[in-house]
Chains A and B, each alone.
Chain A
Amino acid sequence: EAQVTQNPRYLITVTGKKLTVTCSQNMNHEYMSWYRQDPGLGLRQIYYSMNVEVTDKGDVPEGYKVSRKEKRNFPLILESPSPNQTSLYFCASSLGANTGELFFGEGSRLTVL
């Protein structure tokens, strides 16, 4: 089944404790992206990747890192999480940038205390 898988789905952590949210897709998609969703602000793009080893900042990249060492994986790294990074995070992928529909994961709800 074609899917985007995120882990963990739920996480409560404390300020400053590094964490990684994994994202994996099984559709051989070139394009992958991370979004955060906050009430009243919609979805905002954090980082995106056009292909392996190619990543670019989205609209709200501060406090986040990403890597794209393999085509299928695009982890989101919070080196030193802060409470303002409490949010619902979505990973998504598509065949190519601007070429069609995004497939979304089910989301990762992160709380930073």
Chain B
Amino acid sequence: SQQGEEDPQALSIQEGENATMNCSYKTSINNLQWYRQNSGRGLVHLILIRSNEREKHSGRLRVTLDTSKKSSSLLITASRAADTASYFCATAHAGGTSYGKLTFGQGTILTVHP
């Protein structure tokens, strides 16, 4: 399977509920990033968490990173219909011949119903 796999593949919730998406990866990383993509548009950076950090917040977003389990989660609190989009995690490889590679997962499609 690929580096940076998201789970679930699709998530459907009501406005006001929290949305949690998970990402697992295989190799050592420098940082892990989350991106959002509205249908067919370019990706937009949401948040970056470095390998020596465990948790980070940005507005309604909370990201955790567990390097021992090689996993991360993105929590969107008090979701809004405008949060409807695809969310991707991306892992920045730690070094060696893979330095400079940023690998994306397949994404989680989030639908927030008004």
Residues of chain A whose beta carbon lies under 8 Å from any beta carbon of chain B? 4, 31, 33, 35, 40-45, 48, 50, 56, 58-59, 88, 90, 92, 97-98, 100-107, 109
Contacts and interface: CB of A to CB of B under 8 A. Distances in A.
A90 B42 CA distance: 7
Contacts of B104: 35, 42-45
Interface of B: 2, 30-31, 33, 35, 40-45, 48, 88, 90, 92-93, 99-107
A40 B41 CA distance: 16
Contact of A101 (B41, B48, B103): B48
A102 B100 contact: no
Contacts of B43: 43, 90, 92, 102, 104
A58 B88 contact: no
Contacts of A109: 40
B41 A45 contact: no
Given A40-B106, A41-B106, A42-B88, A98 B99 contact: yes
Contacts of A103: 45
B40 A31 contact: no
Contacts of A106: 41-42
A98 B31 contact: yes
B28 to A, nearest CB: 12
Given A56-B100, A102-B45, 12 more contacts: A35-B104, A42-B104, A42-B106, A43-B43, A45-B102, A45-B103, A50-B100, A98-B31, A101-B33, A102-B35, A103-B45, A105-B42
